[in-house]
């Protein structure tokens, strides 16, 4: 007997493929590269040194792009990396002009820094997480073609559009409600990262303070070089700070797999839409 086109005999195969696709998306969204890079970018405001915190945050945003791309054998140009790193819109590419009052508060209340920054850090962690998931999905599924600035701008624009549908409040509230022990670990984690990889930056800046703006590219280059050493260290940092990594894993596990899938498929639809040439 002939089976009509679209008959249900094939639906188990379709469902199996769809379930596998969802499992792959969710598995990657909870992977160590996503968690590690999210914690680094999201916790970087806790570095209690004016100007340096912004330089390190920007370097970590660029590092995250290279790090996730490398998981899939992709090599990006500096301009592509710079474009795709500019997803946070706050903190990642230009917070060096923040008010001195904020810095004074940091200087006098370093022990309370996490509590003072809790809202900002939770928001940045949540946004960093969704940005990482969407970047990773684009790289993994071949949605992004390397070597084109216009493509990197298009991916950046589409990620910013798609993430508007994310339930930031859920993840932010989960992170805000973390225990005091987890908060102390988070502050210690990013300070240890700073001490191990970026502690020479203040020395370079202090020698050329009056030329800070003119030599911004030089400082960025040094920070990028320092960040390279993070590439192979995810497992060791997870081992050293297992409670912090585990608590963050539990928080993102509360996010509905369907939400993650919906965001990723929305990005896929936008990236696969032909670009209008009538501009």
Q: Which residues contact 23 (CB under 8 A, 6 or more apart)?
A: none
CB count within 10 Å of CB 199 equals 12
* CA 35/CA 64 separation, integer angstroms: 11
- 13 lies in a domain? no
pLDDT given at position 157: 95
Do 35 and 249 form a contact (C-beta atoms < 8 A)? Answer: yes
pLDDT given at position 84: 95
List the domain range (segments joined by +) for residue 169: 28-270
Based on the structure, what is the number of domains in the chain?
A: 1
pLDDT given at position 21: 67
pLDDT given at position 107: 44
Give the tokens for residue 32: 């160590």
Low-confidence residues of the chain: pLDDT under 50: 1-11, 13-17, 89-91, 93-112, 115-116, 278-279
pLDDT in tens, 40-60: 998 988 887 777 888 888 899
- 203 lies in a domain? yes
pLDDT in tens, 109-147: 444 455 445 677 788 889 999 999 999 999 999 999 999
- 182 lies in a domain? yes
In angstroms, how far is the first alpha carbon of the chain from the final one?
A: 53
Give the tokens for residue 16: 């199996």
Give the tokens for residue 224: 């990028």
pLDDT given at position 276: 59
* CA 157/CA 136 separation, integer angstroms: 15
Q: What is the pTM of this model?
A: 0.80
pLDDT given at position 5: 43
- 227 lies in a domain? yes
pLDDT given at position 198: 87
- 7 lies in a domain? no
pLDDT given at position 254: 93
Give the tokens for residue 110: 């370093």
* CA 61/CA 34 separation, integer angstroms: 13
pLDDT given at position 1: 39
pLDDT given at position 216: 63
- 11 lies in a domain? no
pLDDT given at position 104: 41
- 12 lies in a domain? no
- 129 lies in a domain? yes
* CA 248/CA 155 separation, integer angstroms: 27
DSSP structure string for the chain: -PPPTT-GGGHHHHHHHHHHHHHHHHHHHTSHHHHHHHHHHHHGGG--STTHHHHHHHHHHHHHHHHHHHTTT----HHHHHHHHTTSSSSSS-GGG--HHHHHHHHH-GGGHHHHHHHHHHHHHHHHHHHHHHHHHHHHTT---TT-HHHHHHHHHHHHHHGGGS-HHHHHHHHHT--HHHHHHHHHHHHHHHHHHTTTHHHHHHHTGGGTTTTHHHHHHHHHHHHGGGTT-HHHHHHHTHHHHHHHHHHHHTS-HHHHHHHHHHHHHHHTSPPP---
């Amino acid at each position: 007997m002939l089976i009509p086109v679209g008959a249900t005999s094939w639906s188990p195969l379709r469902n199996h493929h769809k379930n596998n696709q969802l499992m792959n998306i969710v598995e990657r969204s909870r992977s160590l590269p996503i968690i590690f890079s999210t914690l680094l970018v999201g916790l970087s405001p806790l570095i209690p040194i004016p100007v340096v915190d912004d330089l390190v945050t920007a370097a970590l945003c660029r590092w995250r792009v290279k790090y996730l791309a490398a998981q899939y054998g992709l090599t990006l140009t500096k301009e592509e990396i710079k474009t795709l790193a500019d997803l946070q819109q706050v903190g990642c590419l230009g917070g060096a002009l923040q008010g001195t009052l904020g810095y004074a508060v940091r200087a006098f209340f370093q022990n309370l820094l996490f509590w003072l920054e809790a809202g900002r850090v939770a928001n940045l962690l949540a946004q960093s997480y969704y940005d990482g998931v969407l970047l990773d999905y684009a790289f993994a599924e071949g949605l992004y073609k390397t070597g084109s600035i216009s493509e990197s701008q298009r991916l950046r624009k589409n990620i910013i559009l798609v993430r508007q549908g994310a339930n930031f409040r859920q993840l932010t509230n989960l992170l805000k409600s973390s225990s005091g022990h987890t908060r102390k670990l988070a502050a210690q984690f990013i300070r240890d990262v700073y001490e191990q990889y970026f502690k020479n930056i203040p020395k370079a800046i202090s020698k050329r303070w009056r030329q800070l703006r003119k030599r911004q590219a030089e400082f960025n280059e040094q920070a990028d070089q320092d960040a390279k050493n993070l590439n192979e260290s995810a497992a060791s940092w997870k081992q050293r700070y297992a409670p912090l990594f585990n608590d963050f894993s539990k928080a993102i596990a509360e996010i509905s797999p369907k939400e993650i899938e919906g965001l990723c498929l929305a990005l896929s639809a936008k990236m696969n839409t032909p670009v209008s040439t009538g501009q």
